[in-house]
Chains A and B, each alone.
Chain A
Amino acid sequence: MESKNTSRREFLTASLIASAGVAGCGNKHNAFTPDSEVIPSGEKVKLLSVDGEVIEVDRAFLKPIPDLPVISNSEERKGIAGKKFVMVIDLSRCKNLKKCQEACNHMHFVQPGQSWIKVHSMQDAEHSAPYWQPTTCMHCDEPPCVKVCPVDATFKRQDGIVAIDSDRCIGCRFCMAACPYSTRVFNWETPILPDEVAKQHYSCETSVPQKRGTVGKCDFCPDMVRKGALPHCVSACPNGVFMFGDMNEDSVTNGAETFRFSDLIKDKSGYRLMEDLGTRPSVYYLPPVNRNFPYESGLENQKPNDREQH
């Protein structure tokens, strides 16, 4: 008993140091728990601790940990400190290529037939000009979905992101009824996923793997932001329609160009969808003026059954 405890403590210390920078992890599937007893090999390895000390650890304790939750559920629920994410969608640049949708569906393993990003053909009035309008989750500051969720499965983070915890969701779909932007999808059946994806722990930041009987939607890809990269839709769009950034830094970028957010919204008369509902979205739109492409160029990509309705 004594030796077992010692070995466990040693292991814990070792792996804590070995994975320095890791904030923590879920309590149930503790990645630091050893699968089996480790027999020290006698061969020591030098490592740098978080405090900057050089320490020695037995090589036998150094194991790659498969499926380590990068950050804990409580961290995921809090969000990234000091950030306030914002997106600007420039309607004058969109020609319904749907590369955003493809990339998003691919990276999040969204199920066939469903998409988190939709590109709507819009025409506001009989004689007004039609245009293409991509919609993501609006990540509202007054999110109707979060208000109605009975179990805190969908929540608002300090960085402005509205995310979903699929391990918490009970599948009541009240959030879907509450969302005026119809942005949410439901996993009606067991999602078809590659084995290695299905085995992963669910992360609120990647929204992967989706689970049967729970709700899914656009998550603004905070996992990409943590890596210093842009959300998949932003980098996938060849026309630079999507601009993503931080309100606190007052800048947004589509990868190729970077703008001061406040100037961009002022100069191009940015607006938000359904402002009158008071949901206060984090997604801004630039009106479809001085367009790069005629509306008609996007028609070939439209689904046949979307043509009739407006």
Chain B
Amino acid sequence: MTEKEDKLNITVKSNNKDLYSFMKLVPTRKKRIEKASNEPITSDPINHLARRLHPERQYMIISEIKEETKTTKTFKLIPDPDSETKELAYFRAGQYLSLKVVVNDVLITRPYSIASSPTDALNGFYEITIRKESHGFLTGYIWENWKVRTKVESSGPEGFFYYEPIRDANTIVAIGGGSGVTPFRSMAKAIINGNLDAKLVLLYGSSDQHDIIYYDEFKELESQHPDKIKVVFVLSCEEVTLQGCEKGFISSEIINKYADVKDNTFFICGPQVMYDFIDKELQKLNIQNKRIRKEAYGEIKDIVKYPGFPQDKADKTFKIKVKIGNISKEIPAIATESVLVALERANLAPPSKCRSGECGFCRSLLISGNVYVSPKCDGRRAADKKFNFFHPCSSYPISNLEIDIPRDI
């Protein structure tokens, strides 16, 4: 810096006082430290509330099992009295729990929507409803092993599939397919309990009437609160005997019949075929982007059908060199299964929650090789893409890979 001709000469109080104040800075600070309390700080209310809202783990036991249909059961979960879990985290209707289960000596996770109301969580329980899949790795295990008092471990409530009053219209048009109806049971109950200030029109698709979950409950909610809850059952089977339901799939005609397409918010949860169908139907109705909320897509089971998947790789098995913590291991991986599944099969206990590319909990580094990521499930940050970070749950190996994954916390 060059000296200025007319250099500023500041005086705040007086020349002497100003210099004296400067000289006193360090002694003042020393004195203040010396005079301060020597008591440790033991409370941190903000972190305390953060952990109550977002516990890393919840340890529960099954207190009741209810058979809803031939293939679905509702499990009531309460805090495990032998664990550190003393209360269940409050949540927003529509959120899910990521269950952590050891199946045949392999640790896996699965997301399940909470089907009970947020108020129920305050009263000490969650309910989740699970449909037994014909070749389900986990559900077969659950049907055989889960009894009253079985211990169940989960994440805190997760996900963004909830009503947001500042963003959403006052009427929720819920489009649910099969066991995808579970978050809407929670929303319906939240509305009745006064946790959620909205109206609900539920368009609920099932293959036939015996597959409808919560039929009686929904009927009762509707009759008791006709101003707030409307439920339309849509059955796709050939012969329909149930009174007052719609036949076929949830088409644009049916949506248009029950919804105000200009002024409602659409919440969609169901199997992947339903998402693909509904996408087209909603397009016909010209609904704004902001009015359509979809639950996470789920792990893609038929990845070969997705545009851009290299068909010549479909039947290949690749090797993945995995670095986790300070060890390396080489594991096999099938092109049509996500990298996450390969990691779980190898019992590396990788972190995961949504299994849909959305939550980022499994985020890992791709050191070399190529993966296919479906555009439907690409929740990576722009910089993640730039620096080769990927989500194993929504990435499929199409070459040998070398990856670095974090340990679960």
- On whether the two chains bind one another, the answer is no
Q: Report which A residues bind B (CB closer than 8 A).
A: none
